[in-house]
Structure 1
Amino acid sequence: MLDPLILLALMGVGLLAGFVDAIAGGGGMLTVPALLSAGLPPVAALATNKMQSVVGTAMAVLTYWRRGFVDFRNLVPAVALTFAGSFLGALTVSQLDTGLLDIAVPVALIAIALYFLFAPKLSDADKAARLPFGPFVPILGFAIGFYDGVFGPGTGSFFTIGFVLLFGLGLTRATGNTKALNFISNLAALAIFIPQGHVVWPVVLVMAIGQIVGGYIGARTGIRYGARVIRPLVVVVSIAMAIKLLFFP
């Protein structure tokens, strides 16, 4: 049984991670090291992290949806294929060589950060889509869902850049849709982790409390300030993830 002070600290980490995740993703950079520092084995830390982050993401999705930034009717096919892609990725990860991703993913994250930093027209207003939403968002969901099942870091950033660049969504709508599909891809991983008994439920319980508060505050902040807060936070989180993957794997 973990010390109550450690559990309280993990609750605080969950709150901060939920806030960051609701706006730009990347909360796992905070929670996974915290769980490992608390003494959880690596697999248990990853499984517990997925479970507690799902709670915060669910709160963020609910908040974005209630304010009209997520239309689930248009996302149903993407939800199904995102789940399928992530589940398939998690099942096949042990048979794939992910060495190339160690370099490719940080480079892609830096490119995303540079785009969000220097693109002059990023705002909350929708733009003309380069691809039709209906047939191509499910393909995006499957591809990034598969990547999330195999590797994971930067999934939120990849979803967001896809919604902005390919489908013309404003940043706040892109973030809301990103949270919805990210939630589904995490559920697919949990469909494997939970039956295997890797989730440490007492830790999930306390961190979930922090995630609910952080996810709600983060989503409300993203909705209120829109591109003014989402844009710089995506830049910071993407660069931070790239540095961590390159120099602190």
Structure 2
Amino acid sequence: MRKLTLLAIVGLVAQLVDGSLGMAYGVTTTSLLLVIGTNPAAASATVHLAEIGTTLASGTAHWRFGNVDWGVVLRIGIPGAVGAFLGATALASLDTTVAKPLMALILVTLGVYILVRFTLRGLRTDRLGQPLRSRFLAPLGLFAGFVDATGGGGWGPVGTPALLASGRLEPRKTIGSIDTSEFLVSVAASLGFLLSLGSQGIDLGWVLALLGGGLIAAPIAAWLVRHLPPRVLGSAVGGLIVLTNIRTLLGSSWVDAGDAVKAGTYLVVAVAWVAAITWSVSEHRRDEALVPAGAHEDERDLAADAV
């Protein structure tokens, strides 16, 4: 019972972060399952089964709050589903010792870019509204879906920074669209795991515990992302990307850093992240004061960040 309660709490916290920042549900919950001794394939399968429910609830909530671009959802989600199915069926034999640190390095680079870009200059408005083309979204979805299934998480960490870096979709719609399209990815990954593994190693009680916590958090997160200033949201996402992926990079065979180096690096990144968010909040308040009081909420955000 204690383990199920812990899983439910982890599911709630992970979904709260995922629904408001566009990532971390799979990474967080899979990490916990691996710590308690679940094999990688079964851990990923358990998480993806739970995500069928949590992503459906999260997508519905984001849609109701106006955070979803359905064109982006379909054009990234369908290729993502294909990639997830392939990744799930390949997990048992896939060697990710090279792929994981390479992906972590790419994501750290993207995270630093987003952190610096949003903290120092706010939301890029000169590209907002420009179309996101299928030739960009389809390969991104395919890759992110494959990584998500093989790593037990990765749809958000790959998809969210790539869309944010494009500057063509405001942060809340980036997060809402990524969270909504993840439903397709979760269904496809779960089918792949069930066909290749059956129910071996999957604990239905764990699935339901993770699902229960996630269902509680989904509408709260969708409301939160609707009201967070884009500049602050971008700084928060960028720091989270760096912090979560620097851990993978430092622990890989490429670096193999000692405990002291890891601890020092985590501390530096965490301090820089908090400072960046604090600065973004301060700058947002300063810019907001320059916008006429009667401006529409979305216009206020865009005008403030454009100053």
Structure 1 range deviating more: 120-129 or 29-38: 120-129
Q: Does the 8 A contact of 1:11 with 1:210 survive in 2? A: yes
For 2:155, the aligned partner's letter is T
Q: Is residue 124–residue 171 contact of structure 1 (8 Å, CA) maintained in 2? A: no
Which structure has the higher relative contact order (CA within 8 Å, separation 6+)?
Answer: 1
Partner of 1:175 in structure 2? 175
How far the C-alpha of 1:150 sits from its partner, in A, is: 3.8
Greater displacement, 186-195 / 116-125: 116-125
Q: 1:1-249 to 2 correspondence within 5 Å?
A: 4-24=1-21, 25-73=23-71, 75-94=73-92, 96-119=94-117, 120-123=120-123, 127-128=127-128, 132-134=132-134, 136-151=136-151, 153-166=153-166, 168-195=168-195, 196-198=198-200, 199-248=202-251
Q: Which residue of 1 aligns with 2:262?
A: none
Deviations 1:98-146 (A, max 9, x none): 3322321221121122112111444396834676435542332223223
The ranges of structure 1 where at least 4 consecutive aligned residues each deviate by more than 4 angstroms after the TM superposition are 93-97, 128-132
The amino acid of 1:147's aligned partner reads: V
Q: Secondary structure at the match of 2:66?
A: coil
8 Å CA contact 1:90, 1:189 repeated in 2: yes
Which stretch shows the higher mean deviation, 26-35 or 212-221? 26-35
Counterparts in 2 of 1:149 and 1:122: CA distance versus 1, 3 Å: farther
* Range moving further from structure 2, 194-203 or 15-24: 194-203
Shift of the 76–103 alpha-carbon distance from structure 1 to 2, 3 Å rule, reads closer
User: Which has the higher Rg, Structure 1 or Structure 2?
Assistant: 2
Offset, 1:241: 2.0
After TM superposition, the score normalised by the length of structure 1 is 0.84
Judged with a 3 Å threshold, the aligned counterparts in structure 2 of structure 1 residues 35 and 140 are, in CA distance, closer, same or farther, namely closer
- State the AA in 1 paired with 2:188: A
Bigger drift between 170-179 and 235-244 goes to 235-244
Contact kept, 8 Å, 2:30 with 2:152, in 1: the verdict is no
The separation in 2 between residues aligned to 1:95 and 1:40, in whole angstroms, is 17
Which residue type is aligned with residue 101 of structure 1? A
Per-residue Cα deviation, 1:68-97 (whole angstroms, up to 9, x for no partner): 221325533433222112212333445554
Aligned residues: 246
Q: Higher mean Cα deviation, 190-199 or 27-36?
A: 27-36
TM-score (norm 2): 0.69
Identity %, equivalent residues: 25
Distance 1:210 1:26 in 2: 14
For 2:128 and 2:8, locate their aligned partners in 1 and report how far apart those are by CA, in whole Å. Answer: 42
- SS of 1:98's equivalent in the other structure is coil
CA distance in 2, matches of 1:73, 1:131: 10
Query: Conserved in 1, the CA contact under 8 Å of 2:111 and 2:161?
Result: no
Relative to structure 1, the CA distance from residue 105 to residue 186 in structure 2 (aligned partners, 3 Å threshold; closer, same or farther) is same
- Deviation digits for residues 178-212 of structure 1, max 9, x if unmatched? 11233322222101223411431111112211101
Q: Any unmatched runs of 5+ in structure 2?
A: 253-307
Give the Cα–Cα distance (whole angstroms) in 2 for the partners of residues 69 and 177 of structure 1: 7
Displacement of 1:5 in angstroms is: 1.8
Q: For the residues of structure 2 that align with 1:121 and 1:148, how far apart are their CA atoms?
A: 31
Deviation at residue 47 of structure 1 after TM alignment: 1.5
Letter in 1 for 2:82: A
Gaps of 5+ in 1: none
Root-mean-square deviation (CA, aligned residues, Å) is 2.8
Change (3 A) 1:228 1:57: farther
Which SS does the other structure have where 2:85 is aligned? helix
